[in-house]
Amino acid sequence: MLPAPKPDGLSLADVLRSCLDAINGQENRLTLPAVDNAIVVLIDGLGADILKASSGHARTLAGAMTSKSVIESGFPTTTASALATLATGVKPGQHGMVGYSVLDAAHDRVVNQLSGWDALIDPATWQRVPTLFETARAQGRDPVVIGPSRYRNSGFTTAVLRGARYVPAASMADRMAAASAEIATTGAPKLIYVYIPELDQAGHAHGWQSREWTSALESADAAVRDLVLSLGQRDGVLVTADHGLLDVPQHAHVLVDGELLDGVRFLAGEPRCLQLYFEPGASEAQRAATVARWHEAEDSRAWIATRAEAVQAGWFGDVSEEVLPRIGDVLVAARKAIAYYDGRIVNPAGRGMIAQHGSWSPAESRVPLIRFGAFA
């Protein structure tokens, strides 16, 4: 049985959209009350499970969690897809950001959707739908994104955060101070998004159970506390994440080669959620044989799905015809604490990464939704 999203479950697609509705005094999926300003703080990699396990180091965040403070990230559990879902309010099958790295069929190559933007891809059209920041600006609101300066002019920012006024700020504390300054000014109601990448970075480098990751969590928790203390009566804050993390030791790395890649032209996605693309000339028999080999070899520790099966199961939501070729012909989503790498490459990139994500496990897919201020 393939996993599938809950038909009516709350997810990242509901977060920013509900905040905009709250600013407009409208009913919304999160039942948020009307506010003057709404702030979404996204802490990259802070899954609900690891936040609960580390609650002693996050008294502000963990202290505000309730039994209803968990939502689903969406699939795949990777930053490019999840942040696009947050920013547009629709799932990857519509916005088109269907993985960490995916096929650019027009140019016969794999592109990294976080950092691989170049002149061959237009961010304004590759990400296919208007952002909620564009909608907010059209409604006379003041959408603001606060994040590290290095992301300000990236292709990914253009694709996913267009329509917002970008405010660079160096540290977590600086970003929260910038958000406090924004809501302290008069003018149009503000829809504010604050991005915190430091926990994800520490997790990839050292693992989420490391001293470095715990230190980053403590800093994030303190920064959120300072923001909450600055709120007015009609300011609301939601703290969430794009995905969780799962530590994968090197001895659990699976090197893929041989018949498992028969007829495969490109291997994309990421180590916990591979997307395989067949050669255009691969026969149906060859494709079927390769899929069968994956089932035989990996069914005990991964979900194996063809593109058609994944779409039918609702993995990407409703899928546009334009987006369909970007999804792998075969998807390999890890169930156990393993990660897949291309065994044809000596020392494939990323094998030094400890904490990982991308698949369906609760540790990856369950993210917090913590309410403060007028949203509490």
Helix/strand/coil (H/E/C) assignment for every residue in the chain: CCCCCCCCCCEHHHHHHHHHHHHCCCCCCCCCCCCCEEEEEEECCCCHHHHHHCHHHCHHHHHHCCCCCEEECCCCCCHHHHHHHHHHCCCHHHHCCCCCEEEEHHHCEEEECCCCCCCCCCHHHHCCCCCHHHHHHHCCCEEEEEECHHHCCCHHHHHHCCCCEEEECCCHHHHHHHHHHHHHCCCCCEEEEEEECHHHHHHHHHCCCCHHHHHHHHHHHHHHHHHHHCCCCCEEEEEECCCCCEECCHHHEEEECHHHHCCEEEEEEECCEEEEEECCCCCHHHHHHHHHHHHHHHCCCEEEEEHHHHHHCCCCCCCCCCCHHHCCCEEEEECCCCEEEECCCCCCCCCCCCEECCCCCHHHHEEECEEEECCC
Q: Do 243 and 367 meet the contact criterion of CB atoms below 8 Å apart?
A: yes
Series of mean pLDDT values for 10-residue runs along the chain (376 residues): 92 98 98 98 98 98 96 98 98 98 97 96 97 98 98 97 98 98 94 98 98 98 98 98 98 96 98 98 98 98 98 98 98 98 88 97 98 98
Amino acid 354: pLDDT: 98
Q: Do 88 and 131 meet the contact criterion of CB atoms below 8 Å apart?
A: yes
Residue 55 buriedness (CB in 10 A; 0-12 / 13-18 / 19+): middle
Specify the CATH number for 12-246+360-373; select among 3.40.720.10, 3.40.50.300, 3.30.1490.20, 3.10.20.30. 3.40.720.10
Region(s) of the chain under CATH 3.40.720.10: 12-246+360-373
The two tokens of residue 79 are 């930053």
Region(s) of the chain under CATH 3.30.1360.180: 250-355
For residues 160, 165, 171 and 176, what is the CA-based torsion angle, rounded to 10 degrees? -110
Amino acid 88: pLDDT: 98
Measured between alpha carbons, how far is 288 from 85 in angstroms, rounded to an integer? 32
Measured between alpha carbons, how far is 185 from 343 in angstroms, rounded to an integer? 55
Measured between alpha carbons, how far is 258 from 280 in angstroms, rounded to an integer? 19
Measured between alpha carbons, how far is 357 from 223 in angstroms, rounded to an integer? 25
Amino acid 348: pLDDT: 81
Tell me the pairing of strands 235-240 and 302-306: unpaired
Long-range contacts of 203-212 (CB under 8 A, 24+ apart): 203/45, 203/245, 203/354, 203/355, 204/353, 204/354, 204/355, 204/356, 205/353, 205/354, 206/354, 206/355, 207/247, 207/354, 207/355, 208/45, 208/50, 208/245, 208/247, 208/355, 209/247, 210/354
Amino acid 376: pLDDT: 97
Which CATH topology does 250-355 take? Gyrase A; domain 2 (3.30.1360)
pTM of full prediction above 0.85: yes
Amino acid 349: pLDDT: 79
Q: Do 143 and 165 meet the contact criterion of CB atoms below 8 Å apart?
A: yes
**Nearest 5°: phi and psi at 69?**
-95, 30
